[in-house]
Structure 1
Amino acid sequence: MTQPARRLFILFMLSVSGVVCHAQSPGQLLRLWYDTPAENWNEALPVGNGRLGAMVFGGAAQERLQLNEETVWAGGPGNNLPDGRFREALPEIRSLIFAGKYREAQELAAQKMAGPNVNQGMPYQTVGDLLIDFPGHDAATNYTRDLNIHEAVASTAYAVNNVWYTREVFASFTDQVIVMKITAGKGGSIDCTLRLKSPHASKQTSSDGQRLVLTGTSSSHEGKKGQVKFEALVTPVLEGGTLTTTDSALVVAKARSLTVYISMGTNFRNYHDLGGAAHQRALGYLPTALKKPYALAKSHHTGYYQKFFHRVSLDLGTTAATKQPIPTRLQQFATGNDPQLAALYFQFGRYLLISASQPGTQPATLQGLWNHQLMPPWDSKYTININTEMNYWPAEVTALPEMHEPLFTMLKELAVTGRQSAKEMYGARGWVAHHNTDLWRITGPVDGAFYGMWPMGGAWLSQHLWQHYLYTGDVGFLKGVYDVLKGAALFYADVLQTEPAHGWLVVAPSMSPENEHQRGVSMTAGTTMDNQLVFDVFSNFLGAAAVLRADQALADSIRVKLGKLPPMQVGKHGQLQEWLEDLDRPDDKHRHVSHLYGLYPSNQVSPYRHPALFQAARTSLVYRGDKSTGWSMGWKVNWWARLQDGNRAYKLIQDQLTPSHDNEGGTYPNLLDAHPPFQIDGNFGCTSGIAEMLVQSHDGAIHLLPALPDAWSTGKVTGLKTRGGFTVDLDWKDGKVTKLVVKSALGGVCRLRVYERLKFKGLKEARGANGNAFFAVAAVKEPMVVSAPARQEQVRKVYEYDLVTVAGKTYTF
């Protein structure tokens, strides 16, 4: 290598690795970088465009791209409802529950949850792998790889025999193909062999002219025949050199550069129509992609991505820790000083949501878009008793509302298939979904009576519709989803039962997700989470009906039922009760803490209007402990933020950003969440949790720095969204606001809540309730209190200021 070339190589490696001695640019800081290739899937780096995904391993001697297309699922169309015996037994099941015979009720339900169409949902499946072998590259030196979330590009660089090689991989948002560019610092130095492989039983690999082809059909599962036909096409474009083919491989010799285009398609049209043509779809994306010069394709891809990603920035400070690779930073985070890793993790969650959920695609699954198995953990489908909802918690607050669209589309589809479940299982109007669904939009129970008898999945998902309206004020959107909100309300209006002790209206049968109130028994009636969810379903419907001036007679009847729901209860241990009866155990460390739904993501527990509930929620969370599965720790960050305890929330972030080992939750080397195994919801939960630590808007005002930890005493955030259509930019020093910019999209009163007095001109001290309807507080009943919490945490005093805004204007203080 010549001396000038050597200098250029050193500069390149420094820019890739981030090992610099001066201030690093945002592009350098927003990178996950490593000095060794991925040894397993949990070290590979994800790229995606909502429809297509790849995990990039970055091996020198062999590159592996593990490929996904969002509609490759086992089975085919069809719901999973039990036969009519369940509906016939429903009155007896309810009678047993109200008689306190919970085990008998659960056993009877299990017997009746049968039928020829019953299945536990279909798994999301991998397409396969593209393998590229580079002879002689096992002697690579000066190795580095990264995922640049500033540009949405994964890179690998190394030297072999004084020639440096680089690879870039991205899943193009604009051209709908995965692109890899391989370059060498010396002409004629690229020699490699490209192969496709797949674990599917029904598949065929071949070469077609100068292209690789993989065709296949998804797996059969639980009696449902695999019906998704898929095709992957790999097209190489060489600069110099030669390309030859074998029956199932492409051989590149002496090229200066190589660009590989991967296109995939299936026969999927929608959840009940597989009439598409996989080959034509895969082939159809290629002509446009192949015409573009690589630099232009990359520029278009990155430009599209950055219009979303750049909406929010976060600066918590930078230390020398940023010069270390990600595995080292993870090892040292809990005991070191690396605030930038928390900011990187926050933005990585936003990167994942942009990459896994685009308008017109499927929603992010339990693993987002990325899965390398035919039978992944929990089928990598949609677990809707927490995990799918958690995937979308960052969407509104971190300025990614467009990424919410696939979830809204799925909700509309579930409202169709769920009508069948409501009618055939419960004899009710409206629609219902239980705790799991899949590509085929199943709405019946999954995983038997202990886990599956929870008819509340649709209730929780529907909250995302109302929250989107609160953030955007989009009346047109509200009109488009009104029937979904109304259908959810109709179902609970029909199925609520009068419990005998107090005359309250409750859901029966049901459960508190995945937990038990006696050994082996989950089934009961009127769990706290159910009551909170029905409260929100009814309240959201009433709000939507009022905005749209619709269904006033129905609204009046729903309002009456709303008034008959149970209050929340503070039990004998000072805890917020999980069940209608006082059955909680202080030693219960269950990963689900479902009865705190009312604290987050809902707004039913306020420190200012409901101090007894606020203290009881804290007691329950203390009892459950901190260390848990990855997603559970992510949820806990949000809870501690709502409890205004920034240091405890930060402690949970430290627990989450700990290398996962010995079957403990935490984070894998690629920063993906470890349940374990991998579940993506923990990533999204921490992203939303960090936003909640900095800005909250659920409780009648925009609360600035509500849960700031000591570790982040100085920082800056821009672009966070609040209810009421406001955007907040915020600088702080020594824990106090030093600069504030408020952008108003809708106009109206902007009420600010802070711990220290603000001295900005133009702000007036607030008086009375906030008149801005987007900040309406939850009118919950006074709780029933058996025993007040033993420890009464002092709620910090706040100051509130009002700013009357005009739509479209920006206010700087």
Structure 2
Amino acid sequence: MATKKIHGCLVFCLCIVITWGRSALADPGPQTLWYNEPASQWEAAFPIGNGRLGAMVYGGVATETIQLNEDTFWAGGPHNNLNVGAKEALPEIRRLLSIGDYDAASKMAEKHITSQGAQGMPYQSAGVLNLEFSGHQNYTHYYRELDLENALTTTRYQIDDVKYQREVFSSFVDNVIIIHLTASEKNALNFSISLSHPDEMPVSVITKSASLLMQGTSIDHEGIKGQVKLANLVKIVKHDGQIEQSDQSLNITNASDVIIVASLATNFNNYKDINANALRKAENYLYMAEKKLTGVNKAYQSALQEHTQFYQEYFNRVSLNLGSNSFVKEPTDIRIKEFANRYDPSLVALYFQFGRYLLISSSQPGSQAANLQGIWNPHSTPPWDSKYTLNINFEMNYWPTEVTQLTELNEPYIRLVRELAESGREAAEKMYGARGWMAHHNTDIWRISGAIDWSWGSWPTSNAWLVEHLWQKYLYSGDETHLKSIYPIMKGACEFFEDFLVLDEKTGWLIVSPSMSPENPAPVTGQKIAAGVTLDNQLLFDLFSHSIRAAKILNLDNSSIQKWQGIIDKLPPMQIGKYHQLQEWLQDWDDPEDHHRHVSHLYGLYPSNLISPIRTPELFNAAKVSLEQRGDPSTGWSMNWKINLWARLLNGNRALKLIKDQIQLVKATSGEAGGTYPNMFDAHPPFQIDGNFGFTSGVVEMLIQSHDGSIHLLPALPEVWPAGEVKGLVARGGFIVDIKWQNGEVNYLKVTSRLGGNLRLRTYAPLPKEQGFKTTIATGSNSNPFYELPKDKPFIKHTNKNLPTLSLDNSFLSEINTKAGQSYIWGQ
């Protein structure tokens, strides 16, 4: 009997050794970022988040750093930043623009439109949780990973014969950050815990029993007093050792299993109300989590499982397989470094899913919307204040939501727009004497609607871009309740431009003046300020067109419909310039050597659908010329926008080139060369999260498009992705699409119809055989109302040059009338 016990023990120990050996040798799954050394910089640490609480986990050994964020901890307090001098100055600024005095117009706008005070408040770090371990300098078998399938980060290492493991996650269920530390031997965990804050922000730290409390108030900024109070509460809720207190730290000795909970909260209720009790909120979160974690023997596993199940309800909706090879066994930073020089398709799939992971982790119903850095920021005054940049970057954050089945995550975006529509009514009336609502190119948690950043300030068209995303949500969902709820926001944006548009006497067009093509100085004038720019014209065409469609669906505002159509008829058309480029400005000012990061005039190609190879082939060519002239290498977010644009141009190989330009390792935090940091964060540089989200949406556009009258399958597939599989992508009209392909052609297709209606499919090769139903050859326009095409305005051409057009005449177009709730399968 004793022999059997010894044998069983040896087998058990051997299993532990084998398991540890596999971990140490790194055999990660395809959805794992992993590294064989701790993070040496913030951009190499792992991001975790639950929408409200974020953390960056370094995976240190002797010192573990966990940098913390709470999504409402911003500088300043409730305010707006309007420059009421704009109303009186507006006629003169417009006159100066009409006579071509752009220098004087710019100076006047900087003084009378841009805020002379606050330029927006910064999003702040909520502090750092420090763990200091005794005697952990010499270690072996180091491994750390971020498991995207479970939203969990794990660090493992060995010192002598003792194996240490640390798991950290930001619980979606319990609304706290949970840290679990274990050692393979008794009494082997000896460490201290402390809290600190960057940039010497005044905070107080006290210890009590097994907890630490750091409290502070957000900083004053640009004349606005800091009023957001932070409570950062950390407690050891379970342990098998001893705890000793010092003035500002806790010391844990002789332990082998420790659970730490970090609970953070502020006094923020909403952008107008900061009267909550921060400490009480943090204590309540902590109390509920502690109660669960100390309840039963497997309480930690239960809490982790609940967190994972909640997360996977989002994450598991979409999968992507582009093939794999042995490179998956290499650390992720090495794969990023070598990606452009070799074939590593599974890294693209990982990057794609990393974007979805970041969005799930930084935008949840009830949280703040993902800002310029999601929820992850280590500074009190971060780059660009981590604000919401509204001239593409904020909208770009939410490009993946509908197409990758994350529609619920739009709630914070919609709430921000709804609140900005409230504060923006004050801007419309006091700055421009207009009805409705408006905002300029930036806002923050206080929903400022005034202009900021001096010469960058005079762009009044963010409202049109913001509501376009709200309309697109309807096209994917068919939810008329949603449409009815957002219609007043759409109408309010229309009302502003009813009053703000001005007649250009030279052309007879209604133009937006003053404005700019963000954020590009015109090559001829050297100034950003301009009038009648292409982006504005495209945005207003969409705004009024989609508001008309919404009004008809809801049977509202017949008089407004007629008025809005009259405005559409008088908007400037798109123009093809002397270089056969799509003009960026009203005048033919484009410089083919201009490599500015913004390509705002290509909004009509993506994310809009005003430019099409079928309907507007010459504009399609002109957009391609503009994109070629602007060049590929740029800042990170710009390259990821270009992935989407080249996909819309149906050029998968060029889109892949941009993917290679993006997946290049960046270590520095300055300069203009974009790429990817070691932890897969997008490098502007510095870090901007919009690039990660733009990458995800770009891969979708390469695999499926649904904007041009049909669902186009594999529209921009690169030659080096001959086989693959994607499940769960969403097309307009509520169609969920699964595709397998071989030799570049679809060999299996499953479409699930949520709403019913006509399903029209475009492919470059015949589809496999239908299973139990028949399709027909599609002709004419698509009867599905969610595929109604824009009524194209005639364009103007200023060159005699003609380029060959891209023909889709040889593609295959089939359709079937579907029933809601049913699936349709082609192939086996």
Cα 1:335/1:49, change in 2 over 3 Å: same
Which residue is 1:586 aligned to? 592
DSSP-derived class of the 1:144 partner:
strand
2:415 and 2:330 mapped to 1: Cα distance?
42
What is the 5 A alignment of 1:324-403? 324-403=330-409
2:373 and 2:471 mapped to 1: Cα distance?
25
- Deviations along 1:193-245, one digit per CA (max 9) or x if unpaired, are 00000135331011022200000000000000000001011111333211111
User: Does the 8 Å CA contact 1:192/1:251 hold for their aligned counterparts?
Assistant: yes
Cα 1:430/1:11, change in 2 over 3 Å: farther
Q: CA deviation at 1:399?
A: 0.5
Which residue is 2:511 aligned to? 506
If the length of structure 1 is used for normalisation, what is the TM-score? Answer: 0.97
Q: CA deviation at 1:756?
A: 1.0
User: Does the 8 Å CA contact 1:68/1:127 hold for their aligned counterparts?
Assistant: yes
DSSP-derived class of the 1:732 partner:
strand
Which residue is 1:469 aligned to? 474
Which residue is 2:154 aligned to? 155
1:234 and 1:731 mapped to 2: Cα distance?
48
Cα 1:11/1:681, change in 2 over 3 Å: farther
Q: CA deviation at 1:758?
A: 2.2
Q: CA deviation at 1:652?
A: 0.4
- Which of residues 306, 312, 320 in structure 1 aligns to 2:318? 312
**Larger displacement relative to structure 2 (625-634 or 234-243):** 234-243
1:214 and 1:631 mapped to 2: Cα distance?
35
Which residue is 2:725 aligned to? 716
**Larger displacement relative to structure 2 (613-622 or 198-207):** 198-207
Residue 130 (structure 1) aligned with residue 129 (structure 2): yes
- Deviations along 1:418-443, one digit per CA (max 9) or x if unpaired, are 00000111111110010000000001
Query: Counterpart amino acid of 1:129?
Result: V
Query: Counterpart amino acid of 1:56?
Result: V
Which residue is 2:224 aligned to? 224
Q: CA deviation at 1:5?
A: 7.1
1:609 and 1:520 mapped to 2: Cα distance?
35
- Which of residues 564, 569, 573 in structure 1 aligns to 2:575? 569
**Larger displacement relative to structure 2 (751-760 or 630-639):** 751-760
Q: CA deviation at 1:7?
A: 4.1
1:712 and 1:364 mapped to 2: Cα distance?
32
Which residue is 1:528 aligned to? 534
Which residue is 1:12 aligned to? 19
- Which of residues 764, 785, 789 in structure 2 aligns to 1:773? 785
Q: CA deviation at 1:3?
A: 7.0
User: Does the 8 Å CA contact 1:616/1:788 hold for their aligned counterparts?
Assistant: no
DSSP-derived class of the 2:473 partner:
helix
DSSP-derived class of the 1:403 partner:
helix
Q: CA deviation at 1:404?
A: 0.8
User: Does the 8 Å CA contact 1:17/1:33 hold for their aligned counterparts?
Assistant: no
Report % sequence identity. 49
- Deviations along 1:481-506, one digit per CA (max 9) or x if unpaired, are 11101101111111111112220111
- Which of residues 729, 732, 751 in structure 1 aligns to 2:760? 751
**Larger displacement relative to structure 2 (458-467 or 759-768):** 759-768
Which residue is 1:164 aligned to? 163
1:14 and 1:489 mapped to 2: Cα distance?
63
User: Does the 8 Å CA contact 2:114/2:451 hold for their aligned counterparts?
Assistant: no
User: Does the 8 Å CA contact 1:747/1:805 hold for their aligned counterparts?
Assistant: yes
What is the 5 A alignment of 1:568-717? 568-660=574-666, 663=671, 664-717=673-726
- Which of residues 456, 464, 471 in structure 2 aligns to 1:459? 464
Which residue is 2:304 aligned to? 298
**Larger displacement relative to structure 2 (777-786 or 686-695):** 777-786
1:710 and 1:114 mapped to 2: Cα distance?
49
Query: Counterpart amino acid of 2:818?
Result: T
Which residue is 1:57 aligned to? 58
Q: CA deviation at 1:66?
A: 0.0
Which residue is 1:801 aligned to? 814
Cα 1:128/1:96, change in 2 over 3 Å: same
Q: CA deviation at 1:738?
A: 0.3
User: Does the 8 Å CA contact 2:46/2:146 hold for their aligned counterparts?
Assistant: yes
1:429 and 1:571 mapped to 2: Cα distance?
35
Which residue is 1:495 aligned to? 500
User: Does the 8 Å CA contact 2:464/2:543 hold for their aligned counterparts?
Assistant: yes
DSSP-derived class of the 2:516 partner:
coil
1:598 and 1:483 mapped to 2: Cα distance?
24
1:115 and 1:616 mapped to 2: Cα distance?
37
User: Does the 8 Å CA contact 2:129/2:194 hold for their aligned counterparts?
Assistant: yes
Query: Counterpart amino acid of 2:80?
Result: N
Query: Counterpart amino acid of 1:218?
Result: S
User: Does the 8 Å CA contact 1:96/1:102 hold for their aligned counterparts?
Assistant: yes
Residue 66 (structure 1) aligned with residue 71 (structure 2): no
Cα 1:681/1:142, change in 2 over 3 Å: same
DSSP-derived class of the 1:614 partner:
helix
Residue 413 (structure 1) aligned with residue 419 (structure 2): yes
Which residue is 1:483 aligned to? 488
If the length of structure 2 is used for normalisation, what is the TM-score? Answer: 0.95
1:675 and 1:4 mapped to 2: Cα distance?
51
Q: CA deviation at 1:19?
A: 4.0
DSSP-derived class of the 1:138 partner:
coil
DSSP-derived class of the 2:143 partner:
strand
2:807 and 2:67 mapped to 1: Cα distance?
50
Q: CA deviation at 1:789?
A: 5.7
DSSP-derived class of the 2:593 partner:
coil
Cα 1:346/1:153, change in 2 over 3 Å: same
2:367 and 2:319 mapped to 1: Cα distance?
26
1:115 and 1:356 mapped to 2: Cα distance?
30
Q: CA deviation at 1:760?
A: 2.5
User: Does the 8 Å CA contact 1:717/1:729 hold for their aligned counterparts?
Assistant: yes
1:93 and 1:12 mapped to 2: Cα distance?
71
Q: CA deviation at 1:291?
A: 2.2
* Backbone CA RMSD of aligned residues: 1.4
DSSP-derived class of the 2:146 partner:
strand
Which residue is 1:516 aligned to? 521
**Larger displacement relative to structure 2 (256-265 or 194-203):** 194-203
Cα 1:239/1:108, change in 2 over 3 Å: closer
DSSP-derived class of the 1:395 partner:
helix
User: Does the 8 Å CA contact 1:612/1:788 hold for their aligned counterparts?
Assistant: no
User: Does the 8 Å CA contact 2:35/2:332 hold for their aligned counterparts?
Assistant: yes
Query: Counterpart amino acid of 1:12?
Result: T
DSSP-derived class of the 1:711 partner:
coil
User: Does the 8 Å CA contact 1:673/1:680 hold for their aligned counterparts?
Assistant: yes
Query: Counterpart amino acid of 1:90?
Result: L
> What are structure 2's unaligned runs of at least 5 residues?
1-8, 293-298
Which residue is 1:35 aligned to? 36
Cα 1:165/1:5, change in 2 over 3 Å: farther
- Deviations along 1:152-198, one digit per CA (max 9) or x if unpaired, are 00000000111100010000000000001001111221111000001
1:127 and 1:381 mapped to 2: Cα distance?
16
Which residue is 2:247 aligned to? 247
Number of residues of Structure 1 aligned to a counterpart in Structure 2: 803
2:14 and 2:224 mapped to 1: Cα distance?
60
DSSP-derived class of the 2:341 partner:
coil
User: Does the 8 Å CA contact 1:194/1:250 hold for their aligned counterparts?
Assistant: yes
Which residue is 2:296 aligned to? none
**Larger displacement relative to structure 2 (395-404 or 99-108):** 99-108
User: Does the 8 Å CA contact 1:16/1:146 hold for their aligned counterparts?
Assistant: no
Cα 1:613/1:788, change in 2 over 3 Å: farther
2:24 and 2:564 mapped to 1: Cα distance?
59
Query: Counterpart amino acid of 1:122?
Result: M
Query: Counterpart amino acid of 1:256?
Result: S
- Deviations along 1:521-561, one digit per CA (max 9) or x if unpaired, are 11111100000001111012111101110111111111111
Cα 1:44/1:3, change in 2 over 3 Å: farther
